[in-house]
């Protein structure tokens, strides 16, 4: 019985460590890009953005964006 409890505890710890922290959404897909060779970037990593925003590739460069309000269909 102790081995079953230990196995369940290990399984729960593994699942808990895989949970996303904070920003659990992905950047939107960019279908078109600008023709600029080196577009300006406002950020490079999420930590450079204000709280609840992510650094995402946009049409022309990387920018801090807010979570989309709904999932497009």
Per-domain boundaries in the chain: 22-65
The Cα 33–Cα 57 span in angstroms is: 9
pLDDT of residue 68: 79
The yes or no reply on domain 22-65 and CATH 1.10.260.40 is: no
The Cα 3–Cα 73 span in angstroms is: 47
pLDDT in tens, 29-54: 999 989 988 999 999 999 999 999 99
Tokens of 24: 């659990």
Averaged pLDDT score across all residues of the chain: 80
């Amino acid at each position: 019985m102790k081995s079953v409890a230990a196995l369940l505890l290990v399984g729960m710890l593994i699942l808990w460590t895989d949970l996303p922290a904070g920003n659990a959404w992905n950047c939107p897909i960019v279908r078109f890009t600008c023709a600029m060779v080196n577009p300006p970037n406002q950020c490079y990593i999420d930590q450079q953005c204000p709280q609840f925003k992510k650094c995402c590739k946009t049409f022309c460069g990387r920018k801090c964006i807010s979570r989309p309000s709904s999932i497009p269909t």
